[in-house]
Structure 1
Amino acid sequence: FDAVEIHGAHGYLVNQFMSPFSNKRIDQYGGTILNRARFALEIIANIRSKVGSDFPLIYRMSVNEFVEGGLTTEDSKVISMLLENAGIDLIHASNGVYASTETIIPPTAVGHAWSANISEELKKVVSIPVIAVGRINDPLIAESVLRSKQADMISMGRGSLADPHLPNKAQAGQFDDIIRCIGCLQGCIQRNAQQLPIKCLVNPMTGHESERQITPASREKKVFIIGGGIAGMEAAIVAAQRGHKVEIFEKNSRLGGQWVLAAIPPTKEELGSFTVWQVNQLNKLGVIVHLNTDLTLEMIRDNQPDSVIIATGASPFVPNIPGKELGHVLTANDILQGSAQAGKRVVVIGGGLVGSETAAHLANHGHDVSIIEMNSDIFVGTPSATKHYLMKDLQHHNVAILTNTQVKEIHSDAVVVDNNGQLQTLAAIDNVVMAIGSRPVSFSVEELEQHVSEIVTIGDAQKVRKAMEAVEEGYLAGLTL
């Protein structure tokens, strides 16, 4: 190895000794900063005695733990001086412990390079280099931090999972080819917390580097893809990379499908960077895109494709609630795509991620919003850090959240609900927004089989799930044609 990093951050053992939040000892390892640092300093001395004076030692620390009674930036400035005197060559300035886990691996709701001002504080008191980390997923942002002298080096964890070739692409000036981390946390920290292998929503190669290789196809095929969402585009990219002649047929006026809408709510705009990357790759690979076009059986008969990939996605599901047909009842898609404007007071039915983010979107634009969810909690299954910041946003905008509540009737200006067995009327309502879920958009496979020998259904067209599964299925479809 070229260096050793001591993990003295994030609430693990070395950090537990260092922090007054966790260290309640009253012997020589507790109480004062010098005593609490003793454990780490003894480890450093032990390692240094074995690797020699010229081998680089890095110390990763939680500069600010963001918990009551925890380490602050001022505390860690003192600790960083002790570390330098002890022979540490480089300080890796992270933040947070498990009680403030949303600051360790922050989601897209947190600004880029959010803690660079914290690493800058350490640089004021030490002469050794300092590493900045935290929502730095773009080489230009990294360069800005370095030029601002807020750090001497940049650490990218999730940025490297999304695209391990990021440094080489940046060095070559190929910025449009970089797959950027979108801060979704779904494939990395959420799966890690579940003790599952790491994946990445925007890069299906991550975690499968030794088993998935894009190799030239044995023969060129004509491939038609029905639907230009993220699953269909991923299939097109991989199929084209393998040498197939690919065409996408998208019924709407732009590519991206529901993923475009997912990037509309506040703090979610970075999701759009993945769509931009996919479209850019399609252009580079010469994939033919037909917008505002429904692929018909006649077109298939005339063009005789070898393979058809069905990626028609999903459409909103509207439950059979009395009053659902009233004109003021909308879907979350209507709101997010701007095809309908809501009035002042809005009730959102459904507290999943789509409903909650649509509620946040409306609340951020000045609407009075209530969420009705039949389960005991909202956005179940969402990564905890994502949930933390979304809940904070909803609370800040006074969004009313009614859990264990079911909608019984919708009237022209009111909604009748059953809250734990008690009927209740929410009056003076301008609009009702449905965000119950989605259903696959079907395509007649039986008729297609008469004209095409190879048919694959992917993404929500097969079964409504999350984007990570859709992208992976698109990737595998392109890989196996």
Structure 2
Amino acid sequence: PARCFQLFPYAPARCFLSFAGPAGLTAAYEAKRLGHSVRLFEKAEKPGGNLYYASLAPNKQVYGNWMNWLIAQVAKCGVEIKTNTCVTPDMLKQNTPDAVILATGGEKIVPKIPGMDLPHVCDAWQILDGTEASGKNVAVIGGGLIGMETADFLRDKGASITLVEMLPRSPVGRMAAHGYFLHQRLRDGQCRFCFDTRLEAIENGAIRVISQEKTETLSPVDQVVIAVGMKPRDELKKALVDQVIPHVIVGDARQVRRIIEATEEGARAAWEL
């Protein structure tokens, strides 16, 4: 599920933080450290944003350790994270914050493809958190980092993987160690890579794809995992503009990128309050 953090500093500035992912947590800590009154809200049951899901992939437990450390730092400095709470336009009107740091993160891209409603279709997040069990013959749709890491997770569970990606080659580079070993593990696990290939339809026991202008049916497929990426989540922006509340959009809510950009933008937003 998507996460929502809001930072509401009340003295000397009243600041709301929306969502508690890497950007929101960093902004909350820095704003509090600088003497602002901070209120931090999270839509989900626990903080961490999509960093939580990233930490569930093979060999990425260190991400979870860092996330837990950051959450502890925020709590230690006196900021309460109000979970299961999403900031609404009415909340903004009632609280009239001096500033809002919008760190609402990204949301899943759901492609409009025939067969998406079939029972054997799920998304990468459901696989990683165990909501959906691994299938035996799995088609992973999307060859970016989310898709590659989910395929690696499924490989670790013993699944046979077919990875479908529209681009002519994987967006995950091999120059960094993580990308290099990710590609190596999938190759060693006999993962079938289908690049320059577009998913046309999902069927019972198969998927229909288009590659080099030719339609092909890939089977057997008993599970289809959608991992085509994320897009910015910034639905509060209109309310902030309409209510003339100073605000900054940071992290994936601004543009889906790496953790380092999210944390830097969160910190800078707090420093500039």
TM-score (structure 1 length as normaliser): 0.52
Amino acid at match of 2:113: I
Which sits farther off after the overlay, 270-279 or 377-386? 377-386
Mapping of residues 78-117 of structure 1, within 5 Å: none
**Aligned-partner Cα distance in 2 for 1:353–1:378:** 9
Pick from 100, 122, 134 the counterpart of residue 330 of structure 1: 122
1:25-44 to structure 2, matched below 5 A, reads none
How many pairs are equivalent?
264
User: How far does the alpha carbon of each residue in 1:381-400 deviate from its partner, in whole angstroms, 9 at most, with x for none?
Assistant: 46432222111211222211
| 1:177-326 map, 5 Å | 220-326=12-118
Matched, 1:365 2:157: yes
Give me the TM-score of the superposition, normalised by structure 2.
0.90
Alignment counterpart, residue 343 of structure 1, candidates 125, 128, 135: 135
1:400 match: 192
Aligned counterpart, 2:4: none
| Native 8 Å contact 1:229 1:257 kept in 2 | yes
In 2, Cα distance between equivalents of 1:382 and 1:467: 19
Equivalent pair of 1:353/1:382 in contact (CA under 8 Å): no
Structure 2 CA distance for aligned equivalents of residues 441 and 454 of structure 1: 18
Contact 2:173–2:180 (8 Å) recurs in 1: no
Q: In 1, distance between residues paired with 2:251 and 2:76? A: 24
Aligned to 1:161: none
Q: Is the 8 Å Cα contact of residues 173 and 179 (structure 2) preserved in structure 1?
A: no
Structure 1 partner of 2:237: 445
Distance 1:239 1:382, change over 3 A: farther
From 210, 214, 217, the equivalent of 1:418 is 210
Shift in Å, 1:342:
3.2
Structure 2 counterpart of 1:289, one-letter code: I
Specify the SS of the correspondent of 1:418: strand
How much does 1:252 deviate? 0.3
AA partner of residue 372 (structure 1): V
- Select the structure with the greater relative contact order (CA < 8 A; seq sep ≥ 6): 2
Partner of 2:224: 432
1:4 aligns with none
Does structure 2 conserve the Cα–Cα contact (< 8 Å) formed by 1:311 and 1:459?
yes
Q: Which amino acid aligns with 1:245?
A: S
Give percent identity, aligned residues only.
37
1:165 equivalent in structure 2: none
Question: Is the 8 Å Cα contact of residues 21 and 48 (structure 2) preserved in structure 1?
Answer: yes
Q: Is the 8 A contact 1:379 1:387 kept in 2?
A: no
CA-CA distance at 1:254 after TM superposition = 0.7
- Asked if 1:478 corresponds to 2:247, the answer is no
- Where has structure 1 moved over 4 Å in runs of 4 or more? none
Report the Cα offset of residue 445 of structure 1.
2.4
Q: Secondary structure at the match of 1:407?
A: strand
**Residues 240 and 287 of structure 1 are in contact (CA less than 8 Å); yes or no, is this contact kept in structure 2?**
yes
CA distance in 1 between counterparts of 2:123 and 2:101 reads 28
Unaligned runs of 5+ in 2: 1-8
- The alpha-carbon distance between structure 1 residues 306 and 348, as it changes in their structure 2 partners (threshold 3 A), is same
Cα distance, 1:295 vs. partner? Answer: 1.5
Distance 1:337 1:474 in 2: 26
1:437 is matched by which residue type in structure 2?
G
Aligned residue number for residue 254 of structure 2 = 462
What 5-or-longer segments of structure 1 have no aligned partner? Answer: 1-216
Provide the C-alpha distance between the structure 1 equivalents of 2:164 and 2:238, rounded to a whole number of angstroms. Answer: 40
Q: Is the 8 A contact 1:239 1:479 kept in 2?
A: yes
Q: Kindly indicate whether the alpha-carbon contact (under 8 Å) linking 1:230 and 1:470 is maintained by their aligned counterparts in 2.
A: yes
Query: 1 CA distance for matches of 2:235 and 2:41?
Result: 13
- Structure 1 stretch 300-309 or stretch 225-234: which is displaced more? 300-309
Check whether the contact 1:236–1:478 (CA below 8 A) recurs between aligned residues: yes
CA shift in 2, pair 1:255/1:452, >3 Å:
farther
How far apart are residue 380 of structure 1 and its match?
Answer: 3.3
Aligned match of 1:92:
none
Mean Cα displacement is larger for which, 459-468 or 261-270? Answer: 459-468
Q: Which has the larger displacement, 280-289 or 447-456?
A: 447-456
Supply the distance in 1 between the matched residues of 2:151 and 2:120 (Cα, whole angstroms): 16
Is contact 1:226–1:249 with CA below 8 Å preserved after alignment? yes
How far apart, CA to CA, are the structure 1 residues paired with 2:207 and 2:169?
Answer: 20
Q: What does 1:159-178 correspond to in 2, within 5 Å?
A: none
3-state SS of the aligned residue for 2:130? Answer: coil
Root mean square deviation of aligned Cα: 1.8
Amino acid at match of 2:103: A
Q: Secondary structure at the match of 2:225?
A: strand
